[in-house]
Amino acid sequence: MHPPQSLSPLLSSPSLILQNLKKLISVGSFEQALSLFNHLHSSNLHFQISPSILPSLLKASSSNLPFTLQLHSLLLKSNLVIHPPTLNSLLYTYSKHSDAVSARKLFDEMPLIRDPITWGSMISSYSQNGYFLESLKIFKEMSLVGLEPKPELIAAVVSACSWRGNLSLGRAIHGRVVIGSVSDECVLLGTSLIDMYMKFWDLDSGLRVFGLMFERNVVSWTAVINGCVSCGNYNLAIDHLRRMRIEGVEPNRATMVSALQPCGELGALKLGKEIHGCVFKHGFDLDSKVTGAMINMYSRCVGGIKLAYLIFERAKERDTITWSSMLAATSMIGDYGKTFELFQRMRRDGVEPNSITMLAIIDACIGLASLDHGLSVLSYSVKYGLISDVKVHGRFEIAEELSRELIDLEPKNAASYALVSMVYADEQNWDGVKEIRRVMRERGLRKNLGCSRI
């Protein structure tokens, strides 16, 4: 875009400048917006960039990382003063695009203009991108400089404690919330604390936090229901589901998935059907995770397998979760022939398997004592890199037998030998590994390095 011939109308009104820049960005004209911004700054008309323009401009362009990078570079080259709102907007954009490295570099370069939002943005950036240890370190630094975090920020740090397995720090932060000036009435914070305690199987502490919350939403109810399920207290999970319904809180998809599991574990078919009705009422039956949870629930209840089949066959779209749930259901009840029938349909539909798929199929192989089926599954596992799922629960003898049969069928296929070697390695049978390598050398076979993950 060529620079405008006359900038005077724009320069007379900062709001007009911002309006034009935002308009260009809203239609995706990022290069034109950058050109306008650059020309305004480099003009001889003594244009002064208002600190209020930059954060708005960065927020509007946050979906386009290249534009943000160019704008950031322009700010640095122009020796413009970066105010906290601008810094925070840049951090937000880098975090949005999972660029925690650039965010931290910017954070370190601006030590004198950090405000509480800046610290919070950096902590959130790390947490959202999986750098939980780093987020905890930043939180400690923030505490050392005497800044008081907001409840939303503490919630992010509590989540980081959960993922890092640091219960002691999580408890310390909870203690700070209780005795400090930060209110623990924040729903987000309370829910994060519940989730943290439940992840460490501390059901009592999680329930205590839930009981002290003055305000609860569907997320906090779902967290406590899911926590009870995770801790194996299925009756308590159902009790909280009933309380949630009495209080008139509408469920979401995650609530349904969490609530269906205890019904299956307890064989509570009647309650499961009630939840099934709730699923249809809210239109959650189109969600594959909910569908899979319903299939699992019915298959565990006496007399419910026919309903599980019905849900599966009526599913409008069947993804890996849906197929795997049905395969696991048929394998669990011992209908191994049906398991293989479904498996063949799944393959014809081109749906890729996951670990649950392979475990169900291997159980069916064992149940049928069928070597032919086992070889077929083994070859399939090799193709999709799921061989590790064949060797679960100490089933080394089965994996070894199948692997050697595969060598007999394909004596010139190096992958078959590598498969046997992997089985021996998992058993720490290093003599077996050496023997396989010796046979490969004698037969002039080499493992394909490009396919090392079998």
DSSP string, 57-70: HHHHTTT-HHHHHH
**What whole-number distance in Å separates Cα of residue 319 and Cα of residue 303?**
25
Could you report the per-residue pLDDT of 175-223, keeping only the tens digit for each? 877 755 455 558 888 899 999 999 999 999 999 999 988 889 999 999 9
d(Cα 282, Cα 448) in Å, to the nearest integer?
Answer: 51
- In this predicted structure, what is the pLDDT of residue 437? 84
Convert the pLDDT of each residue in 367-415 to its tens digit. 776 666 666 666 666 555 555 555 544 455 655 665 666 677 667 777 6
How many CB atoms are located within 10 Å of the residue 254 CB? 18
pLDDT, residue 400, reads 64
The Cα diameter of the chain in Å comes to: 86
- How many alpha carbons lie under 13 Å from residue 451 in its C-beta half-sphere? 17
pLDDT at 1 over 50: no
List, for residues 17-66, the tens digit of each pLDDT value.
Answer: 667 776 776 777 767 776 776 666 565 444 555 556 677 677 766 777 77
CB 116 within 8 A of CB 83: no
Q: What is the mean pLDDT of residues 135-156?
A: 83
Can you say how many angstroms the Cα of residue 2 is from the centroid of all Cα atoms in its chain?
44
pLDDT at 453: 31
Contact (Cβ atoms closer than 8 angstroms) between residue 286 and residue 316: yes
Residue type, 311: I
d(CA 110, CA 218): 39
Q: What is the DSSP string of 46-60?
A: -----TTHHHHHHHH
Q: Can you tell me the distance from the alpha carbon of 46 to that of 325, in angstroms, rounded to the nearest whole number?
A: 67
What is the distance between the alpha carbons of residues 94 and 103, in angstroms, rounded to a whole number?
6
| Residue 445 pLDDT | 75
